[in-house]
Each structure stands twice: as C-alpha cells, then as structure tokens.
Amino acid sequence: MISYPRWKIALVAIVLVLGILLAVPNLFGEQSALQLARDRAAVLDGDRIAVEQLLKDKGVAPNGAFLEQGRLTLRFASTQDQLKARDLINEARPNQFTIALSTASRVPEWMRNLGLSPLKLGLDLRGGVYLVYQVDVQGAVKQLLDRHEQDFRASMRTARVPYQDVQVDYPLNRVRVLFRDADSMAKGKTALMADNRNLSLTDTSVDGAPALQLLLTPQEIKERQDYAVQQNIVILRNRLNSPELAVSEPQVARQGVDRISIQLPGLQNSAEVKKILGKTATLEFRMVDEGNNPLEAASTGRVPLGSKLYYTRDKQPVLLKRDVVVTGDQLTDASFQPSTQEGAAVSVSLDSRGAAKMLKNTQENLGHLMAVVFIDRSRDKNAEGVVVDKTSEEVINRATIRGVFSNSFQITGVNPIEGRELALLLRAGGLAAPLSAIEERAIGPSLGQDNIDKGVRAMVFGMLAAFIFMAVYYKLFGLIADLTLAANVVLLTALLSLLGAALTLPGIAAVVLTVGMAVDANILIYERIREELRIGVSPRAAITAGFDRAFSAIFDSNVTAFIAGLVLWLFGAGAVRGFAVVLMLGIVTSMFTAVMGSRALVQVIYGGKRKVDRLSI
C-alpha cells in the first residue's frame, strides 16, 4: 500500500469544502440596487418594512432587501425599476434618506447571515467612476507658514512682549518676527520657545531692526507636503464612507507625488460625490459688534477698527469682532438633527481647548449676540480653463447667549440639505490642502460586463487547453491534475472573497498565469514519477519519489515568483498591485493543490490497492 497520512487527506478535504462554500456566492451575479442611509443613524428593520411595503403598493417590489453597516440595500430586476423606486421613496419620504444608485449581489440571505459574500470587482469590471485629484502641496506649505505667523502673534500678545511686525516670505519659506530692541527680542524668543519648543529660531536683522527668523528646511517642506497628501486621503475616505453619501467599496490611493486616485465601483450618480469631495468647510464663532451700524459700514466701505464686515445668506450686512472665539479645527464631532424646536440643526462638539474658550466667552457675554460664520472653500476651473480658488464666507446663524455652555451645543437656521452637507464636511475634517480635479472617467456597467466576459473567456480557453493536454498526455494522472487545477481556481476565488480583495482585469490575467504555474508544478511531479519508472523503480516508490524529489524544484520556482509578486505589490500602484495580490494568493493555492491536493487524490486512487502493477501516466 502507498503510505500517506490520513490527516493530510482530511485537511485537503476540509480546505476544499470551505473553499467551495466561500466561492459559491460568486455564482449568483448582481442586480441594480438602491442604497438607503440615514445621517449619523442606522437604518432599522422598521424602515426596511415600511419602504418595502411602500414600493410593493406602487408595483415596484424589490427582488431582495437586506441591512448592512447601517444601510438598507434594495435589489431590483431592472434599471427602470431601480430609478422608479428611487423617485417614489424621495417623493414619499423627502429628506429622510440619502439614496445612492448601485448594484448588489443576489446572494441568499442565509449565506449573507453567515458572512459569505462574492469577491469585489474593480472599476474595469464593474463599471463606475474614476477620479484623479491633484493636491496643492505648495498651498499646504503656505498654510503651515500662516499658522506659524498666527501662533507667533498670539504668543507675543499672551506674553505682553512688544514687537513691530510678523512677516511671512512664501517664496523663501520663512517667517520673521521684528522687534524694537534686543531686550524685546530676548523676551520674545523666550515666549516663542515656551510655546513652540521644537522650533529652530535664528537671530537676524531686518533694516537694522533685531528679528527672529524661522526658516523651513527642505526636509520639513517635504514632510509637510507628504502630510497634506496623506491627510487628504484620510479625509476623502471618511467622506466617502459616511452614510450621507452611501458610496460602497470606495478605493482611495496615492498616485505619484501629489495626486490622489479615487475609484468608485458600481456608482452611477457621481454629481453629489464630486460636489462634496473637493470642498473644505469650516466654522468660526465670533461675537457680534453691537456698538456699530453694519449698514453704514457696508455703504461707506469703512469698517470700524477691531471688526470685520460679513453678510448673511439674505445679503444683509453684519459686523463681527475680529477675535475668533472658536475655530473649526477645534470641532470633534458634528451631526445633523432633522427636527428640533427651531427646525433643522447641526449638533456640534468641541475639544477641551475649544470648550474652555467657549465656556469663558459665554460666561463673559451673557445676553449678547454670537454669530456662526460658515467658510466654504473649493477649487475649480473657470471658463478659460484656469484653476481658481473660490472662498465663500457667510453668517448662517446669530443668536443671543442665554446660558453658559462649553463643549456641546447646536447650530440652528440651516435647511435639511445644507445641514446634512455641513455635518458631513465638519465631521470628516477640513482638507489639509486644496484639491483640483484633473481627470474623470466614467465606465459603464456594459463595458465592465464586456471586460468580464472577455477575461472569463480567456481564462476558460486557457484552462481548457491545459486540461486537454494534461488528460491526453498523462492519462489518469492528467485527470488528477485537471481536478487540482479546478480546485486551485476555486480556492483562489475563495481567498479573494474572504480577504475582500478587488478583482480587476489584470487580476484575471494573474489567475490565468497561476493556472499555468500550477500545471507546471504537476508536470514536474509527473515527469519525475515517469523518470523513476523508466529506471525500474516500483510504482509505489515512483509515486513517493516523484512527489518528494520534485518538491524542492517546485518550492524554489514558486518562492522566486512570490518574491517578484511581493516587489510588484510594494513598489507598484493601481492595476499593478491588483495583479500582484492575485499572483501571490494564486502561488499559495497552486502550491497547496499541486503538492498536497494531487498527492491526496493519488492516495485515494492507488493507496488502497495491495499491489500496483502499473500507473496510468
């Protein structure tokens, strides 16, 4: 009898069963779907029942519905039903849900309850929207210099050190603080270093006046630029993953030095997404200047010292104090409240620093007016194609301080649409540097399906050719190899589904490549067995020697291929990394099926025989 441990056979069987179970969801396909989300709250079973009943009464019953990550997904038989259902929900329940057009798998509910799901398809296979944004890295450095300027002025005021001016030189990346005499400069340096211990200040002079200079080093500039790109990636991911947008499976990655690529597979309506992505929104809380006339300041153009002129949404002038009570970077959370006593509102939470400032301000200004200024920044191209920065500042709320509060309060005076957008932008954070959209591509579902069909045909024809060759040339052992090749594809599909890796067109090419590598491993084993038979070794010994002695060659070749895939993954981007991921996973599954799977099948066929006279190879 041919000896092979039974536990290895059992292991192969268990892995194969689990692989089939994980891969089965990919057989069900997808349908057009709607994703419904609430702001800062999960969609509940009651909402699901009510929406399903509403659509059923209107004759557009969904084919399936399920709740996942606080969102309700409804599947429909056609795109026409999908669009009709969206309009019916918006009409029956205005402003209650954020609705996104998408696609959803037809996996049965019991599989979904077990956590089974099909593998994700990339943009080239599923269709969707591809965006590329360029980060203004120089603008990020400018923001850093501006922040240093503001911090220096605040430190001088707090320490009561007299100074002449704080100058910022953007081309040379430096900030200078000018003093009247050497004694003031010494006190100023002490104050600055106390507040900013990591700064490197040098003594200099400007037109004979003593000064302190902060000069950014090339390393600091590069770190600031890298920070701007990475921080923008985090913020864009937060915005795309928010329930307000209801975008499923977004992929955000760095591209080159200063670009960010965004893939939104399955997305059909990208207008709302693009509107939100490039915007930078923040708030400023300021006290109202109640001692001067804003109409007079607007008509004459002369603004009182210590005040600044703003306008409300109704274009009414308002005079606010220049001193800011709290800024948007001190916000820790913001959520939309659709219904309060004063209508829609945005609930705001502050960090400890902002809470302390707000507490002190409300204690000192009971009975006085405080205003909320909404600052909206975006970057776009004008009619001539020139990139321009747009900044809008308007007073969205003025209210009398009737009580003392600190870290939590509400902003009223917003409509539901503006409130949702404001809460999303504030919660996700302001962009570290402005973004410019430089590329947009829409890939239709039909093109994605065409890519899938071509890729699957290439894989099927390639595997079929390998199957026929192995079966003809190696007979029964060739059929064993064919079964292990099929198991290899099943296990690879299962791994991709389990890990949540996205399959792209290059990924399909990697699948075909791993099938070829798996064939090569089987050929090495079978040729070794045939060589042993030719020199007169018994069939039992030939099988054992074939698997044992071919293992080192198989292992070495697969390790080198795995290292190549790892290098592609480490240094590649986009489609290259997708190819590398599938290649590395395919090498793992092909090693398992070619060595252990094939050996287990040989044991099942020949292991029970007392005597093996010949091998069908």
| 3-state helix/strand/coil string of 58-73 | CCCCCCEEEEECCEEE
Q: Of all helices (H) and strands (E), which one includes residue 337?
A: strand 331-340
Higher pLDDT, 178 or 272: 178
Does 48 lie in the same domain as 16? no
Does 56 lie in the same domain as 17? no
Does 45 lie in the same domain as 14? no
Residues 6+ apart with CB under 8 A from 240: 247, 250, 252, 262, 264, 273, 277
Does 180 lie in the same domain as 308? no
- Cα 40 from Cα 337, distance rounded (Å): 9
Q: What is the CATH number of the domain that holds 304?
A: 3.30.1360.200
pLDDT at 50 over 80: yes
Closest alpha carbon to 285 in 426, 187, 385, 160 = 426
Give 197: exposed, middle or buried? Use CB within 10 Å, 0-12, 13-18, 19+: exposed
Token pair, residue 127, equals 């269709």
Residue 254 lies in a domain: no
Does 482 lie in the same domain as 353? no
Highest mean pLDDT pick, 234-238, 398-402, 481-485 = 481-485
Alpha-carbon distance values, 564 to 48, 512, 567, 570, 585 (Å): 48, 17, 5, 10, 13
DSSP states along 500-549:
TPEE-HHHHHHHHHHHHHHHHHHHHHHHHHHHHHHTT--HHHHHHHHHHH
Range of the domain at 325: 281-413
Residue 262 lies in a domain: no
Which pLDDT belongs to residue 288?
Answer: 92
Arithmetic mean of pLDDT over the chain = 81
- Cα 75 from Cα 84, distance rounded (Å): 13
Closest alpha carbon to 228 in 133, 153, 148 = 133
Least confident of 200-214, 353-367, 443-457, 468-482: 443-457
Q: Which of 388, 413, 438 is the last residue of a domain?
A: 413
Does 404 lie in the same domain as 297? yes
pLDDT at 319 over 90: yes
Q: How many domains does the chain have?
A: 4
Highest mean pLDDT pick, 3-7, 28-32, 53-57, 340-344 = 53-57
Residue 373 lies in a domain: yes
pLDDT at 245 over 60: no
Q: What is the CATH number of the domain that holds 16?
A: 1.20.1640.10
Distance of CA 537 to the CA centre of its chain: 59
Closest alpha carbon to 455 in 506, 516, 517 = 506
Does 196 lie in the same domain as 93? no
Which pLDDT belongs to residue 551?
Answer: 85
Residue 596 lies in a domain: yes
pLDDT at 257 over 60: yes
**Amino acid type, 525:** I
Q: Which of 221, 247, 273 is the last residue of a domain?
A: 221
Mean pLDDT score, 53-79:
85
Higher pLDDT, 37 or 135: 135
Residue 251 lies in a domain: no
Does 372 lie in the same domain as 465? no
**What residue spans of 93-136 are helical by DSSP H?**
109-113, 123-126
pLDDT digits 0-9 by tens, 529-540 = 888 888 888 888
Q: What is the CATH number of the domain that holds 49?
A: 3.30.70.260
Does 397 lie in the same domain as 288? yes
pLDDT digits 0-9 by tens, 483-526 = 988 898 899 989 888 887 777 778 888 888 888 888 888 888 88
Distance of CA 329 to the CA centre of its chain: 22
pLDDT at 429 over 70: no
Residue 265 lies in a domain: no
Distance of CA 612 to the CA centre of its chain: 58
371-383 core/surface letters (b: 16 or more CB in 10 A; e: else): bbbbbbbbbeeee
Does 34 lie in the same domain as 12? no
Q: Which of 66, 89, 106 is the last residue of a domain?
A: 106
Residue 94 lies in a domain: yes
Residue 132 lies in a domain: no
Which pLDDT belongs to residue 448?
Answer: 61
Closest alpha carbon to 493 in 218, 208, 171, 120 = 120
Does 455 lie in the same domain as 588? yes
